[in-house]
Structure 1
Amino acid sequence: MLLRKKRSYLLLAFLLFVAYAVYRLEPYVTIQMNDDQLSATMKSARLDAEIGYQEGTTRRLRYLQIGQDTSKPLLVFIHGAPSSSAWWLSMMRDSSLRSEANLLAIDRPGYGGSGLGMPMTSVQEQAENVAAVIRSRRHPNQKIVVHGSSYGGTVSARLAMDFPNLVDGLLLQSASMAPTEEYTFWITHPTSHWALSWLLPSGINTANHEKLAHEAELHDMANEWHNIDANTVILHGTDDWLIYPRNAYYACDRIINAPTLVHHMVKGKQHDLLYTAPKLLKHYLHFLLAEA
C-alpha cells in the first residue's frame, strides 16, 4: 500500500511538471507562426501588413512590414530568443509610430519563417543577413532606426558596428552585450545535445544553441564598439535577472562615437520592458526617429 502511494505521488508530481512545462513553453511555440497564421493575426489586429521573404547572404529571411511612405524613416524591430516578428504586434499597432515611420519586423535566422529550428550562432552572420533585408526594403536616402531586444539587441549592436552607414538610430533594450553577464538555465546544456534536442520546440532549440555560443560571440564583438556612430539609447531594467544590468554599463562605456548616447536604467523593472514599460520604449523610439 505504501509503495502504491509513493508511485501515485511520483506520477502526480511528474504530471504537474509536464503541465507546468507545457504552460511555460506554449507562448514560445504559438509565436512561431507560419505565413497564414501571421496574416490572420495581422488582419485580426486590423493591420495592413506585407509578409515577404528576402534572400540574405546565407539565409532567406521573412519580414513583416507596414507602410511604404518614402518620406518617412524605416523603423526596424529585431526580436530576442526565443521569439519571432510576431512579438512586435503591440508596437506595430501603435498609430503614433505608424504615423512617423514605416515599420519592419524581421524573423531572425532560426525563428518564424526564417528557417525555424535551424540555428545560426554567429552574430556577425546574423547581422549580415539582417542588413540584406534592410537594404532590400530601404528607399534611397531613407533614415533607419533599429530597435533590438535581448538577443536581438546583440544582433542590432553588431549591425551598427559592421554597417554604420545603415543605422542612424539604435535602441538597445535589455540587450546582452557583456560576455558572461547573463543567466543560463541549467537545462540548456543537456537539452542542446542531439539526443534530447528533438524533444524541444524548434524555437527553444534555436535559442539553446545561440545561448551556448553567446559568450564567444560577445568576446568577438569586444573591440568593435567604437564603430557605432548612430544616436543610441541603452534601456535596461535594474532588476533584470536574465540579462544582468551590468550589460548596459558595459556597452555605455564602450560606445564612444555616438553623437547622442542615452543610458536609462529603469528602476524596479526586469527583462521584458515591452510589456512593463511600453510607453518608455515608444518615447525613446519617437526621440530617435525625430533625431533621424
Structure 2
Amino acid sequence: MKLLKKILKITGIFLFIILLVLYYLFSNFTAPKSDKEILKKFENSSITLVITYENFRGFEYRKLTIKKDTTLPTIVFVHGTIGSSTDFSKYMKDSLLLSKANMISYDRIGYNYQDKNSVQESIAFERDMLQSILQKLTPNKTILVGYSYGGPITLAIQQKVRKIILLAPAVYSEIEPMPWALNLYKWELTRWLVPSVWQEASKEKLSHKQDLQLFENNWKNSPNQIVSIHGTSDRIVPFENSTFLEDQFPKNQFELISIPDAGHGFIWSKFDDIKQLLIHQLD
C-alpha cells in the first residue's frame, strides 16, 4: 500500500509539472511578441520591415509595414480572435508574394504587446480603425485580407477597394460555436488560469454573436468583389459561414473557394495553398 501511495504521489507531481510546462508554453506561444522578437523573424531576409505605433481614438496600436514598390497593390491583413500582426509573418516574408504586393499587418486593440487596453468588442469600432489605416492607401490598389474575426471587420468596410479576401470568416451568428473552455473565463474561480490575452479573446468571443446580428443582414450591401476561402473541416468557424455569404451575393461579385479537409488553422497548415490563392487574386 505504501509503495502504491508513493507511486501515485510521484505520478501526481510529474503530471502537475507537465501541466505547468504545457501551460507556460501555451501562454508564451500565443502571447503577442515584442518588437525585438518580430524583427528577429525577419533578420535573415533582405526584407525591410518597418514597425510603427499609430493612434486611433486615443488607443495606441502597432503596425507592421513592408513597402517595396509604390506601383504595387497593398495587402492589409486583419487578424482574428485570438491573434496578432505576426499571424501573417510567413506571408510577409515570402519573396514571390512581395514581388506582387506591399503588405501591412497590425495588432487590434487588446492584442498589442503588453497591451493595457481591453478589446473593444465592436465590429463597428474595428471597421472604423481599419478605415483610418486605409486613408493613407490608394483604394483601387488595396486588397483587404480578413482572417476569422477579421473577416467581418473587412467585410464591414463600405469603401470601394480592389478586393476583399476572407479567410474562414466568422460572419453568421446562428452557427457561432461557444467552446466549453470559455467557461474557464466566465467562472471567476478559474479565470486566473486563463492567460491575459486569452481573457481578451474570451470577451470578444462572448460578445461576437450578438454584435454580428447588427451586421449580418447587410453584408450584401458591400460594394466590393469578395473571395471567401474556407476549410470544409473547420470546427472553430464552420464552413457554413461562407455558404451563408454565398447566398447573399450575386455570382459575379462573390467567389467561394473551399479547402477540402482543412481546419481553422489553415493559414498556417495550408500555407502553400493559401499563398497560391493570394497570388492568383493579385494577378
Structure 2 length as normaliser, TM-score? Answer: 0.88
Is the partner of 2:112 in helix, strand or coil? coil
* Higher RCO (C-alpha under 8 Å, 6+ residues apart): 1
Count of residues in Structure 1 that have an aligned counterpart in Structure 2: 281
Separation (CA, whole Å) in 1 of partners of 2:192 and 2:47: 35
Aligned to 2:210: 216
Could you tell me which runs of 5 or more consecutive residues in structure 1 were left unpaired when the two chains were aligned.
none
Is the partner of 1:224 in helix, strand or coil? helix
Which has the higher mean CA deviation after the structures are superposed, 3-12 or 214-223? 3-12
Task: Tell me how far 1:274 sits from its aligned partner.
Answer: 1.6
Separation (CA, whole Å) in 2 of partners of 1:55 and 1:184: 32
Aligned to 2:86: 86
Runs of 4+ in 1 over 6 A off after TM superposition: none
Structure 1 length as normaliser, TM-score? Answer: 0.86
Separation (CA, whole Å) in 1 of partners of 2:148 and 2:27: 18
Asked if the contact 2:176/2:209 (under 8 Å) is kept, the reply is: no
Aligned to 2:146: 148
Asked if the contact 1:59/1:129 (under 8 Å) is kept, the reply is: no
Deviations 1:202-221 (A, max 9, x none): 32121111111110111111
Asked if the contact 2:72/2:101 (under 8 Å) is kept, the reply is: yes
Aligned to 1:251: 245
Task: Tell me how far 1:260 sits from its aligned partner.
Answer: 3.2
Could you tell me which runs of 5 or more consecutive residues in structure 2 were left unpaired when the two chains were aligned.
none
Aligned to 1:120: 120
Separation (CA, whole Å) in 1 of partners of 2:186 and 2:155: 26
Q: What amino acid sits opposite 1:26 in the alignment?
A: N
Matches within 5 A, 1:1-292: 1=2, 5-29=7-31, 32-57=32-57, 59-67=59-67, 69-113=69-113, 115=115, 118-136=118-136, 138-139=137-138, 142-158=140-156, 160=157, 163-165=158-160, 167-192=161-186, 196-256=190-250, 259-290=252-283
Separation (CA, whole Å) in 2 of partners of 1:180 and 1:203: 26
What is the Cα-based RMSD across aligned positions, in Å?
Answer: 2.4
Distance 1:203 1:87, change over 3 A: same
Is the partner of 2:274 in helix, strand or coil? helix
Distance 1:223 1:183, change over 3 A: closer
Distance 1:197 1:135, change over 3 A: farther
- Between the aligned residues of both structures, percent identity stands at 22
Separation (CA, whole Å) in 1 of partners of 2:114 and 2:256: 32
